[in-house]
Structure 1
Amino acid sequence: MNFFRHRPFGLPAFALLLIAAAGCSSADDAPSAAVPTPGAAITKWCDRLDGVLPKKVDGLTRRDPEPSSALTAGWGDPAIILRCGVERPAKMADPEADGVEVNGVGWLLEQRSDKSFRFTTTLRKAYVEVTIPAGRSADGMAPLVSLAPAVKEAVPEGIAD
């Protein structure tokens, strides 16, 4: 006897309704960011960083990107996005690369083709990346001033694995 022969017809329709409803959530307007996948040691530093990140960066309220993760954070709209545990940028091998130091934290500076800026920490046990969208780049490095104390507290100096 085949138990699956008489499946209820309404179940697939109900499942589609649930999927459609989930797609209309209020989080649709949240920024998005790819979640890094570091190893356990780096994830530990990133979890620690998430716990000490400021509620405001450059006067902007925290508004985390989707999908939700302790490895990502965001502020404002358009969002300043922080990702912890990213891979070492290839640009760090370039002796001509631009770097800045903000309140004791070193950052690799990269201007992207869309006029946004990406900053990645240097000489820390985990690479922390901060992307400042083009619409916010007039503020210069002000967001890094807000973030530097948390990075100094949570991610020790050293070389990321």
Structure 2
Amino acid sequence: MGFARRAVVPAALVIALAGCGGGSGPVQVTGAPAPTGAAAASCRALLAALPASLGKGLDRRDVSPPGVFAAAYGKSPVVLTCGADGLPATYQKTSDVAEVNRVSWFSEQTAGKTLLSTPTRRPQVTMLVRDDAQTWDLLVAVASAIRAHTTSTVPETPTP
């Protein structure tokens, strides 16, 4: 089964714009993925299951507009989106991924930030974090919700 190879540009754009809204109040998110059907239901369940905090200084914030398929954490927000269409343009089946609690993450560097995506899960999740963030801790914090509400497109390797 093949997947369309399209850049996950909308998610990157959304998150870059959200990063400009540091401080208090809702994080403005525009151009977020707009999944439909079963993917939308999975994304809603995933967003509801995410933790209230990803760690010190990373409490969950409201997002605007309400109902957008995104969650934001912290003053210089870490923004997670659900339902991105296609695969990252630079992702290949042989690309290196980091597996964190049985969720595979592909990373791409952008201007001072890292865009992480789950190209082997449906619906796909993306997260943009500052380069100086403790990325591993963030991925651990969201892994169980992602596993519970998305489906792997590749067979999982049994744990010994």
What is the TM-score of this pair, normalised by structure 2? Answer: 0.71
> 1:66 offset after TM fit, Å?
1.9
Amino acid at match of 2:53: K
Residue 116 of structure 1 aligns with which residue? Answer: 113
Residue 149 of structure 2 aligns with which residue? Answer: 154
CA contact (8 A) 2:82 2:125 kept: yes
Matched positions, count:
129
> 1:28 offset after TM fit, Å?
8.0
Deviations, residues 56-110 of structure 1 (Å, cap 9, x unaligned)? 1133210033222251001111010000001222222374x44211111001111
> 1:155 offset after TM fit, Å?
1.1
Aligned with 1:30 (options 26, 32, 36): 26
Which of the two has greater helix per residue? 1
Q: Among the aligned pairs, what percent are the same residue? A: 27
Q: Where in structure 1 are there 5+ consecutive unaligned residues? A: 1-26
CA contact (8 A) 1:33 1:81 kept: no
Structure 1 counterpart SS, 2:138: helix
What is the TM-score of this pair, normalised by structure 1? Answer: 0.71
Amino acid at match of 1:68: P
Q: Cα 1:147–1:155, aligned 2, differ >3 Å: closer, same or farther? A: same
CA distance in 2, matches of 1:140, 1:46: 22
Structure 2 counterpart SS, 1:150: helix
- Correspondence 1:88-103 to 2 at 5 A: 88-93=87-92, 95=94, 97-103=95-101
Amino acid at match of 2:134: D
CA contact (8 A) 1:120 1:128 kept: yes
Largest Rg, 1 or 2 = 1
CA contact (8 A) 2:88 2:119 kept: no
Over 6 Å off, 4+ runs: none
Structure 2 counterpart SS, 1:153: helix
CA distance in 2, matches of 1:55, 1:28: 16
Residue 18 of structure 2 aligns with which residue? Answer: none
